[in-house]
Amino acid sequence: MNPFTEKAVRTIQSIPEGHVMTYGQVAAAAGNRRGARQVVRILYSMSVSHRLPWHRIINAKGGISAPADAEEKGIRQKRLLLSEGVVFREDGTVDLERYRWFPPDASME
């Protein structure tokens, strides 16, 4: 596993219940501020094998980014976040001021 992927996996695993991070935050914490798409790839290919809390990763606007052909995954992600106490606004976004988590050893966006 390359260093970026390893750091991204550790960062995602460290997100506490009831909190979220953005794709860009995870990428920055792993050492590549422009690596948000790599984070998507990591989540897609490694969530099961590394028991990643994939549902705690959202987009920079506080929204769930589920592809059009994966609407059920978006519904599941929202349900998982709600079960952890994350509240959604009327527009379907998460208040990043309230729920965004910053790893103690990482400089973020």
Tens of pLDDT, residue by residue over 69-85, are 667 888 999 999 999 99
At residue 84's C-alpha, the angle toward residues 35 and 60, to 5°, is 30
The residue behind tokens 């208040």 is 95
What residues contact 22, with CB distance under 8 A and at least 6 apart? 36, 57, 58, 59, 60, 96, 100, 109
Burial 28-52, CB ≥16 within 10 A → b, else e: bbbebeebbebbeebbeebbeebeb
- pLDDT at residue 40, rounded to an integer: 95
Q: Which domain holds residue 87?
A: 3-99
**109 part of a folded domain:** no
**108 part of a folded domain:** no
**105 part of a folded domain:** no
pLDDT digits 0-9 by tens, 89-100: 999 999 999 999
Percent of the chain with pLDDT over 90: 83
